[in-house]
Amino acid sequence: MRHRHPQWTAIAAAVTALTLTACGSGEPADTGGPVTLTMSAWSMKTTPEFQKLAESFQAQHPDVKIQFKEYDATNYDTQLTADLAAGSGPDLYILKNLKNFITYQGGEQLLDVSDVASGLGDKVNGIGNYKVDGVTYAVPYRQDSWYLYYNKDLFAAAGVTPPDETWTWAEYEKASADLTAGLKAAGSPAKAAYQHTWQSTVQGLALAQTKGADLGSGDYGYLAPYYKRALEQQQAGSQVDYGTATTNTLQYQAQFGTQQAAMMLMGSWYVATLIAQQKKGEAQAFQWGFAPAPQPDAGTKDKPITFGDPTGVGVNAAIDENKVAAAKKFLTFAAGEGAATALAGIGITPATLTDPVVQAYFGVQGMPADELSRFTFTTHDTRAENPVSAQTAPLQNILLETHSAIMSGSTPVDEALTKAGERARSEVLESK
């Protein structure tokens, strides 16, 4: 799953209005007059994509005003679901990831937007994830993928060759060992790597990269090599152990941003965060870049396999029919090149990747300019972390508990994965 959530702040949902006033360009909006659309959002002070989408849209459709309904980031789906059930949900709402998409769709809370999807062409990554029984219920405006971030200065200090687009897990493990020794010899307190506490850091790549792996099979043996590698890295002292990370509530931004680790697997959203933090002085100044996630073998080097869910926007099925045309125009814009270019200009990874979008992305001040980072951004096979299914959410919840049991050392890998399979079958799969 995507993780960009701040800590719980116990705030109630708040409404922030953004009045859009600017001269339009292109076709005028066919909305029959001024229209106000409400749209969900979260953490607006630190998540600029929502306002950027609205501001860019209004340049073409000045008759439409977007009024944001802001939710708590950590409890976003819970609060949004409650509003939708009460009939007070926004006209447009964001689908953070695919884990709960089927809940909204199955609850008949999303409008059929197949007509919008059919007009978008084939350059929108991840759009197929929102199709159920031939009907599309949302469109993506961003598509995050997981990368390997690396600190060029720490690699140089340790005398270790930085990653390239061909790195396999075996090469990653060797580099980790070499970094551990090299950084110690250089007198640096940094670890070779930092692995955050989320289940995604292990399970997402295992599901994506293992041939035949199926979240809904109830067989989780494919996770074993990834967990055993992670535990070995902890035991070797190459990365902070899970217990320390959870007990001390370590933040991945600080671990990499203050040069506590030379490498880190993390989602593409971190690019914009690190650039902003270095600009503000919240992260230290150092040379960095991002590479493809290590691969099971060198055969995938032409299009490295990684994972990541899209972030989409859908239309509340209960929307006033007089607002439907305006809402669909917003979706068309959000998934298109115009919005993609605007989002890329603030370091966000959009769902649509065209040459202008790539140019805008790498034109951001502070963005790594090396060819490997560009290759990583433009060339990858991103597979969904949360396959669309009514069983995905409960299965992921079981695997979250499994992740904690394994990484804390309380249950051996094979035993924990066997128990997870038994629970998946008895609690979810056989009861469907």
- 327 falls within a domain: yes
Cβ atoms within 10 A of the Cβ of 198, count? 17
Q: Which domain holds residue 196?
A: 146-306
Measuring CA to CA, which residue among 147, 370, 367, 152 is closest to residue 259? 152
Shared domain check, 166 and 117: no
With respect to residue 6, please indicate whether it lies within any of the assigned structural domains.
no
CA dist., res. 375 & res. 369, Å (int) = 11
| Predicted pLDDT of residue 285 | 97
Same domain (yes/no): 153, 301: yes
Residue at which a domain ends, from 353, 370, 385: 353
Q: Cα separation of 224 and 403, whole Å? A: 11
According to DSSP, the residues that pair with 315 across neighbouring strands are 92
Is it the case that residue 193 has pLDDT exceeding 80? Answer: yes
Q: Are residues 131 and 273 in the same domain?
A: no
> Could you tell me what percent of the chain has a pLDDT over 90?
83
Last residue of a domain, one of 247, 282, 306: 306
Total domains present in the chain: 2
CATH of the domain at 70: 3.40.190.10
Give the whole-angstrom CA distance, residue 281 versus residue 420: 43
Does 8 have pLDDT greater than 90?
no
Confirm whether 377 is domain-assigned: no
- 31 assigned to some structural domain: yes
pLDDT exceeds cutoff 80 at 211: yes
Judgement on whether residues 115 and 226 belong to the same structural domain of the protein: no
Residue with token string 């409008």? 111
Residues 125 and 231 in one domain: no
Report the distance separating Cα 353 and Cα 120, nearest Å.
13
| Rounded Cα distance, 314 and 331, in Å | 8
215 and 111 within one domain: no
What percentage of residues in the chain have a pLDDT greater than 70? 92
Q: Which of 290, 306, 322 is the last residue of a domain?
A: 306
Question: Tens digits of per-residue pLDDT, 260-310?
Answer: 999 999 999 999 889 989 999 999 999 999 999 999 987 777 899 999 999
- Contact indicator for 115, 337 with CB cutoff of 8 Å: no
